[in-house]
Amino acid sequence: METMLKVDDINVYYGAIHAIKGISLEVNKGEIVTLIGANGAGKSTTLRTISGLLKPKTGTITFEDEVISGTAAHKIVEVGVSQVPEGRRVFSNMTVMENLEMGAYIRNDKSQIKLDLDKVFHHFPRLAERKKQEAGTLSGGEQQMLAMGRALMSAPRLLLLDEPSMGLAPLLIKEIFEIIKDINKEGTTVLLVEQNANMALSIANRAYVLETGQISLSGDAKELAASEEVRKAYLGG
Amino acid sequence: MGIMDQFFQQLINGISLGSIYALIALGYTMVYGIMKLINFAHGDIYMVGGYVGFFCITIMHLPVLPALVISMVLTGLLGILIERIAYRPLRSAPRLSVLITAIGVSFFLEYTMMYFVTPQPRTFPHILSDVAYHIGPFVVNNQQIMIFAITIILMALLTYIVQFTKTGKAMRAVSFDTEAAQLMGINANRIISFTFGIGSALAAAAGVLVGIYYNSIDPLMGIMPGLKAFVAAVLGGIGILPGAAAGGIILGIVEALVSGFISSTFRDAAAFAILILVLLFKPTGLLGKNTNEKV
Ligand SMILES: Nc1ncnc2c1ncn2[C@@H]1O[C@H](COP(=O)(O)OP(=O)(O)OP(=O)(O)O)[C@@H](O)[C@H]1O
Ligand SMILES: [Mg+2]
């Protein structure tokens, strides 16, 4: 299998706080890989470091054989990695359409952008109905859809998702996870951060369990879901 | 002249003055929106703009419009340079450090200018022959019309850029959430540079227009209008573009009315009284939402 993303023994600090303590992980082309763990384990920090918002003190991150640790965040999008950040962070003061345009900021291929826009509207028909609505007035679920659609507009090869289920009703979570599966089937590799371990393990190929800045377990998602350790700690039984 | 006539006459004067404030206030508010920085050197950028225009007209014998455009371009570049040298290295520094730096930049511009152009005020040449138009009982002169027209054109241009161009949308995105904007592939530093450039160019336009209107410029001419424009930006709601425009015009009108009906001694006091009232009763400004939302 072709390795797409390789995180190699990174250490990340917030000032004196040692948040990530030597994490290594890999994502292969075409996979859905999930990173699960409790509050404060360092899941978001890991994704933010991959996206270049934080710099690892030591260790390297490689994407398709190109070292990207040390590359500016806005350039990493051009390389093909796009993130849906925790808490959605849509541009509330802009319309749905403008948010999607910002997602395609790095691109100039008008006809291809149009095709991707249609694709986003196909995945999220509710966004199509609300093109002109200010993003700040969307419901939480719609904002999550917009954040995902916006990230897809850069036509990423690797999509990083930080807790897409946060604050959503169970039915909506199901819908969102179905869409993640579809996006993956259409050729986008996915690294999914979740606290909702049940859902995440159900759609992922492989998983990593993060505990206070270190990876404690990793392996096949189905096997992890069945393992005693994970069931106890993350699946409520 | 009856009291109503005088009122309308002061209204006309106030709109001219207010247009100047509005042009300066727009730069304040744009830079605040994107960096959360009160750029106290902004009034001095306006002063530099006035001088560039002055030299274009006196030394290079250019007509008003080319002088205005050249001043806007050069001063815009100066704004970009200042941001690059003075503010960018402080991107993750505490806000107080940046504020103090802005005051430092302000002094630097004032006294560097004094060194090169002397502290003596310069008399702006009379480039527009005075034409006064009598509309009923009111008098509007051609300079007032020019100031107002140029202000409207620049505001329309700015609105177009911010609302409809890709870079303008990126400006709004960076203002709202710099990190999320970076995740879109937006180079925030470049957008901040651009914002400084535009804001400085607008201030430069104000500097040239003031030179033409009041006939005189000096290296400290930016201090008062800089503060007034800051008041205007706060009055309209700092970070909000239409707010800065409205705040500037309102402030100009209030000042003109106070000068005309009470005494010009109280002109400045009126501006600062407005600031205090706004801060007391609606700190988010006239157009600001009551949350801490930024635009
Ligand atoms: N800006 C920051 N400054 C200092 N410490 C931080 C900062 N952001 C995160 N941390 C710390 O780093 C650790 C990891 O945080 P992170 O946000 O990555 O956790 P997480 O796994 O995403 O948690 P959650 O599931 O609650 O989102 C925590 O101990 C947190 O307190
Ligand atoms: Mg998190």
Q: What is the pLDDT of residues A113-157, one digit of tens each?
A: 999 999 999 999 999 999 999 999 999 999 999 999 999 999 999
* Chain A: closest CA distance from residue B161 (Å): 14
The residue of A51, A54, A75, A91 whose CB has the most chain B CBs within 10 angstroms, and thus the best one to mutate to test that interface, is A91
Interface of B with A (CB under 8 A): 166, 169-170, 172-173, 176-177, 179-188, 293, 295
- Angle at which helices B267-281 and B241-261 pack, to 10 degrees? 140
Local structure of residue A227 (DSSP, 8 states): S
How many alpha carbons lie under 13 Å from residue B270 in its C-beta half-sphere? 18
In contact, A146 and A90? CB cutoff 8 Å? yes
Confidence class for position A40, pLDDT limits 50, 70, 90: very high
> How far apart (Å, rounded) are the C-alpha atoms in residues B255 and A215?
66
Cross-strand partners of B175 = none
Largest CA distance in chain A: 51
Q: What is the value of ipTM here, to two decimals?
A: 0.95
Helix (H, G, I), strand (E, B) or coil at A17: strand
Confidence class for position A169, pLDDT limits 50, 70, 90: very high
A87: tokens are 């808490």
Residue to substitute in A10, A12, A14, A39 for testing ligand 1 pocket (most ligand atoms within 8 angstroms of CB): A14
Which long-range contacts link B140-143 to residues 24+ away (Cβ below 8 Å)?
A: B140/B12, B143/B16, B143/B212, B143/B213
A91 touches chain B (CB under 8 A): yes
User: What is A1-80+190-237's CATH number?
Assistant: 3.40.50.300
Asked if B187's CB is within 8 angstroms of A74's CB, the reply is yes
Identify the CA nearest to A30 among candidates A186, A236, A177. Answer: A186
Asked if A94's CB is within 8 angstroms of B172's CB, the reply is yes
- The rounded Cα B239 to chain-centroid distance in angstroms is 13
Q: What percent of chain B has pLDDT over 70?
A: 98
In contact, B28 and B236? CB cutoff 8 Å? no
**Cα dihedral sign, A128-A130-A132-A137:** negative
In contact, A148 and A141? CB cutoff 8 Å? no
- Quote the pLDDT of residue B293: 44
Does the model's pTM come out above 0.95?
Answer: no
Q: Is the pLDDT of residue B294 over 60?
A: no
Q: Is the pLDDT of residue B67 over 50?
A: yes
One DSSP character per residue, B240-292 reads -HHHHHHHHHHHHHHHHHHHHHT-GGGHHHHHHHHHHHHHHH-TT-TT--SS-
> How far apart (Å, rounded) are the C-alpha atoms in residues A170 and B25?
48
E strand or H helix at A186, and its extent? none
Domain boundaries, chain A: 1-80+190-237
What mean pLDDT, rounded, does chain B reach? 92
Closest residue of chain A to B179, computed from CA coordinates: A53
pLDDT digits (tens, 9 = 90+) for A89-117: 999 999 999 999 999 999 999 999 999 99
A53: tokens are 């918002």
Cβ neighbours of B172 in A, within 8 Å = 91, 93-94, 98
Identify the CA nearest to B198 among candidates B11, B6, B42. Answer: B42
Local structure of residue B189 (DSSP, 8 states): H
Local structure of residue A136 (DSSP, 8 states): G
B181: tokens are 């904007």
**Residue A90 to residues A100, A137, A152, A166, Cα–Cα distance (Å):** 10, 11, 13, 15
Q: Is the pLDDT of residue B43 over 80?
A: yes
HEC letters along B41-93:
CHHHHHHHHHHHHHHHHHCCCCCHHHHHHHHHHHHHHHHHHHHHHHHHHHCCC
Q: Is the pLDDT of residue B106 over 90?
A: yes
Confidence class for position B291, pLDDT limits 50, 70, 90: low
Domain boundaries, chain B: 20-118+131-229
**Residue B225 to residues B25, B46, B191, B271, B290, Cα–Cα distance (Å):** 9, 9, 26, 11, 27
Query: Of the ranges A80-84, B1-5, B116-120, B184-188, which one carries the lowest mean pLDDT score?
Result: B1-5
Asked if B184's CB is within 8 angstroms of A93's CB, the reply is no
Q: Is the pLDDT of residue A73 over 80?
A: yes
- Quote the pLDDT of residue A232: 76
> How far apart (Å, rounded) are the C-alpha atoms in residues B55 and B47?
13
Identify the CA nearest to A49 among candidates A20, A80, A18. Answer: A20
Distance B135 CA to ligand 2 centre (A): 66
Local structure of residue A135 (DSSP, 8 states): G
One DSSP character per residue, A93-132 reads TSBHHHHHHHHTTT---HHHHHHHHHHHHHH-HHHHHTTT
With a 6 A CB cut-off, is A39 part of the ligand 1 pocket? yes
- Closest residue (by CA) to atom 3 of ligand 1? A14
